[in-house]
Chains A and B, each alone.
Chain A
Amino acid sequence: MTIQTLEPIIQATPFFQGMEERHIDLITGCAKNVRFVEGETVFREGDAADQFYLIRSGLVSVQFMIPHRGLTTILTVAEGDVLGWSWLFPPYRWHFDARAQQATHALAFDGRCLRTKCEEDHNLGYEIFKRFMQVITERLESTRLQLLDMYGNNK
């Protein structure tokens, strides 16, 4: 039986595309494969944000509990998407719930492990922050479009 390391898988993801091999090595040391069954909670609002995920297959809903309205889905992430950046910033707590909408396969990265490596190697830290800034910018742009309620009839 051959055991495939996560290195080539991580290297092939669009998120880590173009990253130096030595950095991929460091990142791989903080990564593991995870699976969630349909309906399983990935994380809960207020819990410690000690990981982030790169979705390999499936669909995860990012949700928010609104009193009198219930659990509302504000975003779904699918193959190739990043889930979670609260591990990067204090107080390292999740701000939303995340739940597997379908059976989901992901790479999970240990936040504490990565933060330590970023402190030790600022070039790695810069590369990771650049990539997360891109994701955050895209999410902000999408959120602004959602806020416009552009399909609505002013109702």
Chain B
Amino acid sequence: MATTSDELATAPLDVEPMLPTPYRIQRIRQETDDTFTLELVPADSAEGFSFAPGQFNMLYVYGVGEVPISISSDPSDAPLIQHTTRVVGTVTKAMRLLKRGDMLGIRGPFGTHWPVEDATGRDVVIVAGGIGLAPLRPALYRLMAQREKYRKIVLLYGTRTPEDILYRHELEHWRGKFDLEIQVTVDRAASSWRGNVGVVTTMIPRAPFDPSNTAALICGPEVMMRFTAMELQKRGVASERTYLSLERNMKCGIGLCGHCQYGPVFTCKDGPVFSYDRIAALLGRAEV
């Protein structure tokens, strides 16, 4: 019997969670000016792992440090995995300098996942902001692989400028399949841009889905997720069927160190994917 993503996410890790597994960089793809994707395969003697959409790994650049990054590849491609990240700090800067054939240490996969199985029989609305599209990409692959199980699938994607659009070719490919509605908007653009301009939340009121039977998956900057969740609620999507992926300072990945504590939860273990009704009261609170 096939293992479901739910079983995967709840199964105990069968490897020592604090021990990095060596992975080799098979390919590096520059996505945008400051964003790149690493394609990784287990090094010669190492075993790979399967993962559920929305889970993350701790990526270790040897001698520099470790960072939590969501897996952005198709779960059915495992043990090959991809991580898309932006150059923001010391570790990701060092990561960007790595070359094909170089090694990385990986711990994971950690955390909760997008509830793609629970969305069976419903419309699925995916709202992504900026690099937030990366953690949602495995969910899109999974949904498209089992397309007949879902009603409408709508992707609303907002980013900074047309140059910052992630996975551009893939989005064009999916758009061409006609069973996935994709709407892209940017915050600002030159007059040559033929698409939408405005924040992603403005696309929600007229997006084609039935709010009474919809599961919503949101990932992006926290302020964007807050406003998106509110707009979805205004449209009538149930808060318990609205899911967000939070980003915090994950360190151990297994709920021991407390670095990623978010009120009563640990983001690495209880998240990163939470239902909106569970964390709505915490979002936007300065003390948390």
Contact = CB atoms under 8 A, between A and B. Distances in A.
A71 B199 contact: no
Interface residues of B, number: 33
B27 interface: no
B160 A73 contact: no
A145 B224 contact: yes
The prevalent SS among residues of A at the interface is mixed
B199 A146 contact: yes
A90 interface: no
B32 to A, nearest CB: 10
B213 interface: no
A153 B158 contact: no
Contacts of B199: 142, 145-146
A78 B206 contact: yes
Interface string B214-235: 0000001101100100000000
Q: Which 5 A-B pairs have the closest CB atoms?
A: A151-B130, A71-B191, A150-B221, A151-B160, A145-B199
Interface stretch (B116-124, B136-144, B182-190, B265-273): B182-190
Contact of A72 (B190, B194, B198): B190
A73 B129 contact: no
A75 B86 CA distance: 27
A97 to B, nearest CB: 9
Given A73-B191, A73-B193, A151 B159 contact: yes
Interface in A137-155: 138, 141-142, 145-146, 148-153, 155
B88 A145 contact: no
Interface residues of A, number: 29
Contacts, number: 77
A76 B223 contact: no
B188 A148 contact: no
A72 B188 contact: yes
A11 interface: no
Interface string B95-120: 00000000000000000000000000
Contacts of B160: 149, 151-152
23 contacts: A59-B196, A61-B197, A69-B190, A70-B191, A71-B191, A73-B190, A73-B193, A75-B197, A75-B198, A76-B185, A76-B197, A76-B198, A142-B198, A142-B201, A142-B202, A145-B223, A145-B224, A146-B187, A146-B188, A150-B223, A151-B187, A153-B86, A153-B87
Nearest to B198: A75
A74 B223 contact: no
B198 A151 contact: no
Contacts of B201: 142, 145
B164 A151 contact: yes
